[in-house]
């Protein structure tokens, strides 16, 4: 049930957060930035969780597993989800115009990409407990890494709202494909 309703709720929440935070940092943003500053150069170690080549490898593995299962529509939805999420991020960045260090920052593209891919892992694993634990843990570390370096904390929250909305749409495709396969077996 939440899968069907979350996409519009998550998108509206992301938009409202973007308008609420405005152009500058919030108190939470400042706290995370100070923490990152206090950590010094070691804070960059957390960027591994949003490192595009590593995240892309996970995406490719998830799509390969889906293709091996002959879940064609799910594989197509997974393949399209990350570029569509990236396009949505770029549109939102221009709408909100929030900057950090001279670059548009709301919502975080790196965080969106990582959270979408981790969500796809959960969908491919059939929402297994292990996949939820892995996705939540790595997703939070990805958000943390960006919040203490290149982005504001609220940028990562907006990214998570957008990304989980995209993943829920993919989960709906997965559900329909499973239902169609079950119905075909019964006839």
Lookup result for tokens 């990409």 = 113
Phi, psi at 103, each rounded to 5°: -120, 150
Burial (Cβ within 10 Å: 0-12, 13-18, ≥19) of residue 44: middle
Cα 14 to Cα 57: distance, rounded to the nearest angstrom: 27
pLDDT of residue 4: 87
Asked if residue 108 has pLDDT above 90, the reply is: yes
- Residue 57: band (very low, low, confident or very high) from pLDDT cuts 50, 70, 90: very high
Q: Stretch 89-108: mean pLDDT, rounded?
A: 97
Average pLDDT, the chain: 94
pLDDT of residue 83: 97
Q: Stretch 57-61: mean pLDDT, rounded?
A: 98
- Residue 179: band (very low, low, confident or very high) from pLDDT cuts 50, 70, 90: low
Cα 52 to Cα 49: distance, rounded to the nearest angstrom: 9
Closest CA to 65 of 174, 172, 141: 174
Cα 72 to Cα 78: distance, rounded to the nearest angstrom: 10
Q: Stretch 126-146: mean pLDDT, rounded?
A: 97
Cα 152 to Cα 133: distance, rounded to the nearest angstrom: 25
User: Which letter does DSSP use for residue 149 in this model?
Assistant: T
pTM of the model: 0.93
């Amino acid at each position: 049930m939440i899968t069907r309703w979350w996409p519009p709720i998550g998108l509206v929440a992301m938009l409202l957060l973007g308008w609420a935070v405005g152009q500058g940092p919030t108190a939470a943003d400042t706290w995370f930035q100070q923490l990152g500053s206090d950590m010094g150069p070691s804070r960059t170690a957390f960027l591994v969780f949003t490192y595009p080549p590593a995240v892309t490898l996970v995406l490719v593995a998830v799509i390969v597993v889906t293709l091996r299962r002959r879940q064609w529509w799910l594989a197509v939805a997974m393949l399209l989800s990350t570029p569509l999420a990236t396009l949505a991020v770029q549109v939102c960045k221009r709408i909100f115009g929030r900057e950090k260090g001279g670059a548009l920052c709301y919502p975080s593209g790196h965080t969106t990409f990582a959270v979408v891919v981790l969500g796809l892992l959960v969908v491919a694993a059939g929402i297994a407990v292990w996949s939820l634990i892995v996705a939540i843990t790595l997703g939070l570390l990805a958000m943390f890494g960006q919040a203490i370096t290149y982005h504001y904390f609220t940028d990562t929250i907006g990214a998570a709202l957008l990304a989980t909305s995209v993943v829920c749409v993919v989960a709906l495709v997965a559900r329909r494909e499973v239902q169609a396969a079950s119905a075909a077996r019964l006839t």
